[in-house]
Structure 1
Amino acid sequence: MSEKFEMTNKVYREMFINHLTFQWGWNYERQQADGCLFTLTPVLKRLYKDAPLEERERAIKRHLEFFNTHATLAPLLFGLIAALEVNTPEAEKDSITSIKTGLMGPIAGLGDGLFWFTLWPICASIGATMAVTGNIFGAIFTFVVFNVINQGVKWFGFRIGYTKGMDIINSGSGDEVIKRISGAATVLGLCVAGCLVSTTVKLSVPLEFASGDGKIVVQELIDKIMPCFLPVLVTLFCYWRLKKTNGKEAVRLIFGIMIAAIALTYFGILG
């Protein structure tokens, strides 16, 4: 059966197109299981074309088990699953479910770190900076760049997963590779967050005190000690409150900051 299968560009293309509807069948019982099976259908229908009905049923049920991972990096895992389907004897294919279950969690964490906590903030911060300066292409830039990279990773993910996935698994370095990429993404995300705070969070103290013939400008003193100190302080306070309340007071925190900013600005304490 597997000797007759050939992974062609047409199969990759069909998997990519099917994956565009990956989240459409999401449900609370098995979450992305329907999308998982539909994405793998181009491989399974060729692989089991002449197989007995019982084997085809087992293959379908095998990929209708609970599944949940990051949608953008899921093609990496699907490429690996396709390679396993082709190269694993029928009697041992229950192991595919174990491998899929074991990898979907790390891939989900890696995807969140790379895309939602790194790529999206980078694209959004650049687009927001463009929009603040009056450039109407700010929002367009954010969505176009993010989706070009997002879809590009999916397109090449199937190929990389199929050709390189087995090498990583066989070498036993899969966890190490994921940890390194995740660590690099975390560092990059922190750098972007720092730049975002310093460029978009605006907070200053307009207070001035007379000193003989001169005057002391409070904001200038703060900037000499640590530039952007007040924006960082407010950001750390928001992070502390969100972490302490597990995000449950996000709306209250937003309105609280708005009210405090209006009041302190009215009385001339903040600028």
Structure 2
Amino acid sequence: MTFPNNQTVTQPDPWDIADNPPVNHGEYWGQVEIALWYCVLQKGVGKVPFDPQQHSVDQRRTSVEIKIFPIPEQNVSFDIKRDLIAESREWAGIVLKSIKALGLTAKEINGRYVRVKLASTGQTYTNGNGEDRERTTFEFVKAFASEAECKADFLSGGAAPVNTQPQATAHNSAQGTNGNGHNNGNSNGNQEKQTALNFLRIYVQNAARGQTDLNVIRSSLAANISTQPLLAKYFTVDSPETMQLLAEEMTK
């Protein structure tokens, strides 16, 4: 099988990345899981399950356990979770406030793909080394309609929301115009396509990992592209950019 050589995919210079590494400002992209249960706070123990047979109602509190399962592209290998109480300022004034700012309830955001950042609670704690550390909690920044949108936002650096909806017509979408030769002031098309290309590169690498049969790789890649709206908007398994990326992987 031959690959076209008339188009090249520009790779970032690894020396530039080494000299200017991306900074993690405590932001994470992934799926959120929220678990609730009634508890009682016991001194020296912490949370214990609320038992109406032995605890009074005024002792009852609501435990909120929040976990973020990061997308693979973020390459995070540790747990990201917070354990708090719904009746606390931390929940009401920071976490829930940020959820409501997105037009959602806690129940509605549960299970969604989201972008969160770590926000200070204004409190400190002492770690195992006797050092004072700032206590942080989750502040929800964005909620996405799909995993694909979440990944696209991460790959674009989170600079702007990604529109994964097709344009009115295929012609207008491809040309980025309104049919009269004007782009309606929308300059996000190129940025969105570049984001999709970055996304495509990762999918090609994953499909080719440990596999030498090009037909198997192409079949896997085609299936993945078809399930990702952002990718399918710009690329197919036979697109020149895809072919170029495949060629690069097959020669490694």
Same fold (TM over 0.5): no
Which structure carries more strand by proportion?
2
TMscore range, shorter length: under 0.3
Which structure carries more helix by proportion?
1
Tell me the TM-score normalized by structure 1. Answer: 0.25
Tell me the TM-score normalized by structure 2. Answer: 0.27
